[in-house]
Structure 1
């Protein structure tokens, strides 16, 4: 378990991974937000927020992406959704998806990120699988570790990449807006899917079906 304060210095050399220009990326985001716009809202240092969000202790714009549709949707929409022990199914409440969309993006340039993919990668930054597998109750600590890793990899690291907790067959990443001089992501030209529309909800249910999940009826 990696739930302890960061050390004074790195025990190894962080693993640099190059993500190539043109790599497809998928982002679930608030429908009102532009697909490539970074989130500038800082999380609370000790309470609500995501795994590696910005806080007042390290302020930066950030966005999360998946390397597949399933990873992007699972990481955002299936987090903390319980499985019914009788049916084996999950019910996705409407408030969790109705104001969200999925956008189809790609990298506009080669970028360098810190790899957190393997035990070796994690050990190089004094961590274990806890850092990328911890649930929300530990996110204040994972945010602190994210800030520390950013400080140790200034100014080359434009983000982190790690295995998706909820879709282990694929990867997810966070990208930062304060590393690099040009836009990192660009639209592919494929229209975003608005989950708040009937067509978008049908599309979403098609993606959720293999995860034994479906959207709740209206009113729930």
Structure 2
């Protein structure tokens, strides 16, 4: 899938550092329950405003799949993004878990991703921590992800340190880099995860996971 660039971002050549995710690695994902556990999200972000930090755009229309290296990190990345830290125990709106599932995938082959874990990794792609931490510059982050993709055509995704559960890892995978591995790169692990995060049992389990981060999902009135 060709990348359409509307202006050159940099003149220098990027020198990304790569990380190999071994075959057999377990990856956790929170997703809409209507999606299959290994289904890439086809939603494209707006070029300038709405959308996730590293989602595809109409200018680079890849589908994305966000995963993490633990259940807690996957849940935290999903539900703590819009909940400010006030010093009190964070209360997460029930709507953020309603209609969602927590699934476990296992890699069946090695995945080569661009590392953004260390400062030297960010410098290698001519960036700093703002690429990961600045909530005001998602549009810039999406454009820079496209620049990395263009200059690292073998990269299957990006990996960085989770902002909500440091120092564990969060990752985004690019669907077009899996075309020759379709149906083989990611296997679902059945009877793992939480099928319905919005159920009474699901909320209880999510709150057990989130307790070390001093956060909990509110229960709907009438439960």
Regarding TM over 0.5, the answer is yes
Secondary structure of the 1:179 match is: helix
- TM-score normalised to structure 2 length: 0.90
1:67-89 C-alpha deviation (Å, 9 max, x unpaired)? 1111111111111202344xx21
Structure 2: distance between partners of 1:153 and 1:63: 18
1:76-108 C-alpha deviation (Å, 9 max, x unpaired)? 1111202344xx211110111111110011112
1:85-143 C-alpha deviation (Å, 9 max, x unpaired)? 4xx211110111111110011112101111111111111111111112222x2111111
Structure 1: distance between partners of 2:12 and 2:62: 22
**1:8 Cα offset (Å):** 2.1
After TM superposition, the structure 1 = structure 2 runs for residues 1-220 of structure 1, keeping only pairs within 5 Å, are 6-10=9-13, 12-85=14-87, 88-135=88-135, 137-154=136-153, 156-180=154-178, 181-182=180-181, 183-193=184-194, 194-219=196-221
Instruction: Give the length in aligned residue pairs.
Output: 211
* Contact 1:28/1:103, CA 8 A, preserved across alignment: yes
Structure 1: distance between partners of 2:42 and 2:146: 15
* Contact 1:105/1:186, CA 8 A, preserved across alignment: yes
1:37-71 C-alpha deviation (Å, 9 max, x unpaired)? 00111111111111100000101111000011111
**1:169 Cα offset (Å):** 2.1
Secondary structure of the 1:112 match is: strand
List, as ranges, runs of 4+ consecutive aligned residues in structure 1 with deviation greater than 4 Å. none
Structure 1: distance between partners of 2:191 and 2:138: 33
**1:219 Cα offset (Å):** 4.7
Is there any run of 5+ residues in structure 2 with no aligned partner, and where? 1-7
Aligned-residue Cα RMSD (Å) equals 1.6
**1:18 Cα offset (Å):** 0.8
**Alignment correspondent of 2:3:** none
**1:205 Cα offset (Å):** 0.9
* Contact 1:106/1:188, CA 8 A, preserved across alignment: yes
- TM-score normalised to structure 1 length: 0.91
Structure 2: distance between partners of 1:152 and 1:26: 28
